[in-house]
Structure 1
């Protein structure tokens, strides 16, 4: 269920938000703390109530600054206002058949005014969300915290835990908590955290939110992991997104299909760091939609590859794209023989980098590399014969390995430049048996080497990638206009380096072409898992 948080600072502004995202949400959250007192007073007047109040289930939230809101006063006047709203509009909305909720923090149960609001809500059929927000990190046992929230208030309250997810291991703990709360049912093959007994007291609806980039998957997988709802907000109105990691409700509905997911929805994804800029979710989710497949593709910012392996098991992830900086480490899953039953394509072994992972009929991992073909096909459309062409490759990471392998296989002469010259030399030594290859430092010292390898320049580093859009990895090089510049970055679509080459009259290839080519190849591999 998608809950659209209204973040404008006027009721008219909130009305505009409702209109703008009409049809993309299932519930509305009215953030009272973002309104001025004058605007809040309008709500208490029958003539001032906006028309959309009864159009969808409604959450009334008056958030304190300490919990990520705007209210910086005492609790008593805040709760007194909420009580007035319950006695007026909320009660009438319930009588008219609408569902109304109030978000109350767990610590206000100890305050008389907080208990008074809860009692009034019970009298009028208004439901309570009992919330706790932790912006410092994820607790060791989130399921136990959910159990505390479920037991601190009255019966039927919905516990909500929103925590800052600071890395992949925090996300693992949060997903395990979701598993434990649901008794381990229908959540991959996870076994929970052992805290299910405390969580069982919250049987039924529970809201789990992972804040920040690393918590993003919990937001767009909320139906899959059993969270009652997930919040979205408007990035361009009022204070914009009201919590770290939120996206707009249209993206939630149309890209991630949050309204159609269920406990058996297949999970695919992309790992990298950073990765939230990736266009892969839009591409692959559109493919699943076209196929009519109950599957979703999600970005997983990943800082700990072994923690992510655990997450793959918990969520039973069926397929994976791999990007910077994890391609070589993931290749190790297959080339180290550590995973019995796993297998990989010849390109993964030859390149030492893996950008695609799927599962076979036995659930074993299968590695592939679509970067080689994804890189070569657009280049061969411009330069049909690469034999003896001099090519400079910038970078020596996982993407560069696929590029160098493809170029040498096509007969090109290759120069690898990297800020860490030793790493460039190692790559050159490793691939020396495939053809003519040399190495150097990614600095002005290598200009003479580039002069004999400048038919084509291929940029494989992360320099220039959003948000580092003002950087140029070879600012010291002056284009002559005869080069072909191949930039594999696609966000932004035109980097500073690509623009400079284009201005000099060079033929340029943007990362979009490589992205689409390799993504189509990945989509074919993902489609093969549909009948497994």
Structure 2
């Protein structure tokens, strides 16, 4: 029998035909997980046969994120065991259940993965490892309440690796992404992925293409962690941008989205996860540097090793300054009052441009904007992140339209409602993607040169 590969891909498609097509496209280092609870009308033996035995068969309870009713445990187990005549390579059996006689008789050709899902705040992995049930591999799944929770799995995973145990232990939810991506670096034997053409079967599950692009299966204990921290961050282009550059520089760093909106939680996570490089986004650009004793706003932090002092930079300011040098001089209307707006105003002031700033705490009247006659407009609010967002300060934009010649959009989505307005108004537009490329390029240089880890 073949060993368990590193990537297990949960077939979460709406139909079995779509799931089967996906499974047939998977590479050798990715094993399809057939969730029988997602296809309850299909014959389990036939599903296994369609995959020519190459699969992990699971039937998940509703209380553990599946769809099989909790009140029908006997029916669930019976349905799971109906897959055995198809001779699947692997079968998932819950950690605390005895091995059924039918499965016991099939152990000559079926390997058993023992799994357990625990609630948020429960960390009983070490105790469970002291009393392992019979099996060939083990999976422990918890829930991340705080980013630092991920670090609690590092020790048990290393312990299992040193003893030759095939263990995967990770946390669900957006805050649990580090435990999924760093599984190999911490000693885990496998991790779960979403199909590239399907939806995640569990919160925080990453697409197979993402795990492979980040080379998660090749990570080792010497890899250092970088990331983008703030909320929201799951949309960030940062991981794709920085990880590609780390790989080209032969730098053993991994860059991840680190979802967090609270400075105290962020500081706790930086130390627990031994983060070496950080991109800071809203709402932490001012509060996190302050909590670390640094003057903000900053969007970039790095250090040579855990425990060493942080260094900081504001590559947003550098990127905006570069863009500004190519724009017509004159007064500028700045929309917003957060960290990005503060950076914008500081750069404008340093170049001697007159600034009028609008925000919820400092509202302006349209007549004030018209009298100011701005040549440029900088959109530095968070409006535009979501598709349903309204345009920021529409009455002020209309007052600025007659005099405006250019606009800057800080949000780096492909399109925003403000960018559409600026184009319709005939303004020269600096898109958020342009600013992102400039500021992220500077960040990558700081991370590669300033962070520790192998490859330096």
Q: Is TM > 0.5 for Structure 1 vs Structure 2?
A: yes
For 1:203 and 1:304, the matched residues in 2 are separated by 38
The answer to whether 1:355 aligns with 2:299 is yes
1:85 paired residue number: 83
Shift of 1:25: 4.4
2:393 paired residue number: 474
Shift of 1:309: 2.5
2:44 paired residue number: 40
State how many pairs are aligned.
443
1:505 paired residue number: 426
1:74 paired residue number: 72
For 1:13 and 1:315, the matched residues in 2 are separated by 38
The one-character-per-residue Cα deviations of 1:86-129 (angstroms, maximum 9, x if unpaired) are 35413xxxxxxxxx3322223433xxxx53355335x3253332
Shift of 1:42: 2.2
1:103 paired residue number: 92
1:464 corresponds, among 384, 403, 421, to 384
1:3-402 to structure 2, matched below 5 A, reads 3-20=8-25, 22-23=26-27, 25-43=29-47, 49-51=49-51, 53-54=53-54, 58-72=55-69, 74-90=72-88, 100-109=89-98, 114-116=99-101, 119-120=104-105, 123-124=107-108, 126-134=110-118, 137-139=120-122, 142=123, 144-148=124-128, 151=131, 153-154=133-134, 156-166=135-145, 168=146, 171-183=147-159, 204-234=165-195, 236-237=197-198, 240-254=199-213, 256-333=214-291, 335=293, 349=295, 352-360=296-304, 363-383=308-328, 386=329, 389-402=330-343
Matched-pair contact (CA < 8 Å) for 1:17–1:234: yes
- RMSD across aligned positions (CA): 2.7
Residues 9, 276 of structure 1: alpha-carbon distance in 2 compared, 3 angstrom cutoff = closer
2:360 paired residue number: 419
Matched-pair contact (CA < 8 Å) for 2:299–2:315: yes
The one-character-per-residue Cα deviations of 1:203-250 (angstroms, maximum 9, x if unpaired) are 72322222121112222222123222221113644xx22111122101
Matched-pair contact (CA < 8 Å) for 1:328–1:398: yes
Shift of 1:9: 5.0
For 2:133 and 2:333, the matched residues in 1 are separated by 65
1:484 paired residue number: 406
1:431 paired residue number: none
Shift of 1:513: 0.8
For 2:286 and 2:325, the matched residues in 1 are separated by 26
Residues 286, 447 of structure 1: alpha-carbon distance in 2 compared, 3 angstrom cutoff = farther
For 2:52 and 2:137, the matched residues in 1 are separated by 24
Shift of 1:287: 0.5
Shift of 1:356: 0.7
Shift of 1:471: 1.6
Shift of 1:453: 4.7
From the two aligned structures, give the one with the greater helix fraction. 1
Question: Secondary structure of the residue that 1:526 maps to in structure 2?
Answer: helix
Residues 41, 223 of structure 1: alpha-carbon distance in 2 compared, 3 angstrom cutoff = closer
Matched-pair contact (CA < 8 Å) for 1:235–1:248: yes
Matched-pair contact (CA < 8 Å) for 2:266–2:288: no
Question: Secondary structure of the residue that 1:405 maps to in structure 2?
Answer: helix
Shift of 1:202: 8.5
Question: Secondary structure of the residue that 1:319 maps to in structure 2?
Answer: strand
Question: Secondary structure of the residue that 1:159 maps to in structure 2?
Answer: strand
Matched-pair contact (CA < 8 Å) for 1:175–1:225: no
Matched-pair contact (CA < 8 Å) for 1:484–1:508: yes
Question: Secondary structure of the residue that 2:92 maps to in structure 1?
Answer: strand
The one-character-per-residue Cα deviations of 1:408-427 (angstroms, maximum 9, x if unpaired) are 11110011211122xxxxxx
Shift of 1:394: 1.2
**TM-score (norm: length of structure 2):** 0.88
The one-character-per-residue Cα deviations of 1:317-359 (angstroms, maximum 9, x if unpaired) are 22111111111123225646xxxxxxxxxxxx4xx31111111
